[in-house]
Amino acid sequence: ILDTRVFAESAGVTVEDIAMRLIENGFHAPTMSWPVAGTLMVEPTESETKAELDRFCDAMLSIRDEIAQIEEGKLEVEESPLRHAPHTVEDLVGEWQHSYTREEACFPAGAFRIDKYWPPVSRVDNVFGDRNLVCTCPPLEAYAEAAE
């Protein structure tokens, strides 16, 4: 479990900022805020290669460097690649209004340039989604009929 709460205090960087930036590095975002709020639960499987673990470490170090730029006043958190991650293809081809480059947005250190994973959407309102669950399942009667 990686405690990221210190970065919220030092730079205004949230656990979600870090998780979304990992997506741009081609990683499935770790579990956020469970079992401890403000943390990432990183669980590499036994099948991960050393090269992949090294790539993950490089991504985490790159994210830490981006946080340091915010802490040192070189970059505002609201105008950082962290806060706007993940960047979609649509973000890149549209009008660019960020102080960082498209390359910095899409190819952070450790990210693949070949076989790059492009997230289909940028951020969503997780709290709204958690509080307003919409079930798209068939009605219960359909399951009962199928079982007959």
pTM beyond 0.75: the answer is yes
User: What is the band of 40 on the pLDDT scale with cuts at 50, 70, 90?
Assistant: very high
Q: What is the pLDDT of residues 115-147, one digit of tens each?
A: 788 888 888 888 888 888 888 888 888 888 888
- All structural domains of the chain: 2-147 (3.90.1150)
Answer for the pair 129, 19: CB distance below 8 angstroms, yes or no.
no
Q: How far apart are CA 135 and CA 81, in angstroms?
A: 33
